[in-house]
């Protein structure tokens, strides 16, 4: 049985997990709290996809961004990790490498030995699994560790459901506001932008200075791009995704995080119904591809600017990452780019990396979206 100290830690962990309402914050807090609770060097929370047969998301602690980049593609749920998917009950191993289902580690992965895994269930349905490796001090995970992890996993299920319901209520409560904002954007903002663009086009023949003409044409192009952005926003406002992740927000957050390594803020642009047309499974690849592309720019490009564009059009999801750096280098052709090719090929899509339109490098990753084609 857990002693008073362990029970206090478990209670503190439950209170910490239950105090947040944003789902992504809840998931991050769950795995960091759980790893601390059982004294694990490494921890991960694997979220199952809709088929409940593989991992759609994999949130880790104990592995920094540089090591994540070296490891490359995160697990889908094979080997030891897959055991909990097939048979969702606690699993404890003194040395996971000796288990017959051991799948091995990819190149660059830190060696791991002791293992503890427990499922997270919500109303009898498995949401995902908590995984822990390498008990601190070189020991194995104990019965008490398993009890603590199971207890926190139970609290995590309640917290996840609470966060989902909170997001749903928030979406429903603001539906009328979303509709009103969408109408205002269409009836006022877009019409004004059109009027400004037409006025500028009519002015171009009257300008003698070629440099001034070029500047006006650039402004007109920017207005056209802004109109596309506003139209995409209107589409998203008209559609309430219940419940679901905000892929746009995740990409914006990823770009903000990448700014530390780049030394500047990336520009991010969206075109089309991203949050409504892209399911969680494809979204996982989208985020991974974007993260890998921005990491490559930070490591190899010596760039001063980068633009990440995501477009959903005619049943195809496309990602374009363009920088103004030194152009494609031989060092760019590492395992990370092989993973991007594999992700595109697995979905019947394409991936290419080439010189940018003016200079630097352009990365383009495209996959078909079944729901839009049907």
Q: What is the separation of C-alpha 78 from the centre of its chain, rounded to a whole number of angstroms?
A: 21
CB 72 within 8 A of CB 335: yes
Count of CB atoms within 10 A of residue 164's CB?
Answer: 18
Residue 7 in this model has a pLDDT that exceeds 80:
no
Mean pLDDT of the chain: 78
pLDDT tops 50 at residue 243: no
Residue 251 has pLDDT above 60, yes or no: yes
**For the ranges 222-226, 257-261, 330-334, the one whose mean pLDDT is highest:** 257-261
Q: What is the mean pLDDT of residues 46-73?
A: 76
Q: How far apart are CA 295 and CA 51, in angstroms?
A: 30
Kind and range of the H or E element at 367? Answer: strand 361-368
Give the residue-averaged pLDDT of 361-368: 94
Does residue 320 carry a pLDDT above 90? yes
* Nearest CA among 67, 64, 61 for reference residue 46: 61
**Using 50, 70 and 90 to split pLDDT, how confident is the model at 29?**
confident
**Is there a contact between 150 and 157 (Cβ–Cβ < 8 Å)?**
no
Give percent helix, percent strand, percent coil of the chain, each to the nearest 5. 55, 20, 25
- pLDDT for 15 beyond 70: no
For residues 325 and 371, is the Cβ–Cβ distance under 8 A?
A: no
Find out whether 371 and 313 touch, Cβ atoms under 8 Å. Answer: no
Give the closest residue to 179 by CA, choosing from 133, 218, 234, 135. 234
**Confidence band, pLDDT 50/70/90 cuts, at residue 167:** low
Cα–Cα distances (Å) from 148 to 151, 157, 207, 369, in that order, read 5, 14, 74, 42
How far is the C-alpha of 363 from the C-alpha of 307, rounded, in Å?
11
Among candidate residues 362, 281, 280, 350, the one with its CA nearest the CA of residue 318: 350
pLDDT higher for 332 or 185? Answer: 185
**Which residues face 57 on adjacent strands?**
47
Instruction: Round to whole Å and give the CA distance between 320 and 251.
Output: 13
Average pLDDT, stretch 158-183? 66
Look at 44-48, 305-309, 343-347 and tell me which has the smallest mean pLDDT. Answer: 44-48
* Phi and psi, residue 14, nearest 5°: -65, -40
Taking a C-beta distance cutoff of 8 angstroms, is the pair 28, 125 a contact? no
The conformation of residue 3, written as its DSSP 8-state character, comes to -
Q: What is the rounded CA–CA span in Å between residue 370 and residue 374?
A: 6
DSSP tag of 89: S
Least confident of 34-48, 112-126, 177-191, 242-256: 177-191
A 10 A CB-CB count for 214 gives 11
Q: Which two tokens stand for residue 167?
A: 């997001």
């Amino acid at each position: 049985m857990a002693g008073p100290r362990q029970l206090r830690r478990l209670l503190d962990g439950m209170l910490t997990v239950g105090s947040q309402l944003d789902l992504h914050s809840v998931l991050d807090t769950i795995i960091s709290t759980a790893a601390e609770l059982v004294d694990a060097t490494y921890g991960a929370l694997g979220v199952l996809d809709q088929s409940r047969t593989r991992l759609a998301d994999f949130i880790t602690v104990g592995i920094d961004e540089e090591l994540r980049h070296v490891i490359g593609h995160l697990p889908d749920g094979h080997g030891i990790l897959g055991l909990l998917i097939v048979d969702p009950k606690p699993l404890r191993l003194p040395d996971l490498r000796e288990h017959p289902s051991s799948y091995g580690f990819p190149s660059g992965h830190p060696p791991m030995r002791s293992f503890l895994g427990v499922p997270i269930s919500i109303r009898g349905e498995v949401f995902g699994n908590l995984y822990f490796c390498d008990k601190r001090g070189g020991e194995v995970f104990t019965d008490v560790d398993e009890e603590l992890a199971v207890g926190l996993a139970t609290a995590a299920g309640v917290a996840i459901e609470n966060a989902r319901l909170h997001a749903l209520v928030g979406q429903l409560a603001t539906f009328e506001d979303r509709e009103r904002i969408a109408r205002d954007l269409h009836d006022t903002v877009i019409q004004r932008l059109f009027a400004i663009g037409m006025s500028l086009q009519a002015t171009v023949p009257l300008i003698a200075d070629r440099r001034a003409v070029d500047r006006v044409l650039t402004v007109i192009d920017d207005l056209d791009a802004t109109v596309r952005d506003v139209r995409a926003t209107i589409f998203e406002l008209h559609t309430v995704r219940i419940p679901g992740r905000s892929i746009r927000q995740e990409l914006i957050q990823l770009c903000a995080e990448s700014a530390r390594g780049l030394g500047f803020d990336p520009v991010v642009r969206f075109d089309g119904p991203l949050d409504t047309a892209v399911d969680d499974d494809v979204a996982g690849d989208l985020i991974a591809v974007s993260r890998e592309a921005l990491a490559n720019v930070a490591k190899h490009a010596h760039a001063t600017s980068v633009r990440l564009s995501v477009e959903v059009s005619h049943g195809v999801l496309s990602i374009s990452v363009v920088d103004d750096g030194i152009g494609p280098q031989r060092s760019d052709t590492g395992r990370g780019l092989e993973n991007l090719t594999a992700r595109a090929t697995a979905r019947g899509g394409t991936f290419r990396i080439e010189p940018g339109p003016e200079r630097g490098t352009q990365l383009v990753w495209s996959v078909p979206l079944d729901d839009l084609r049907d």
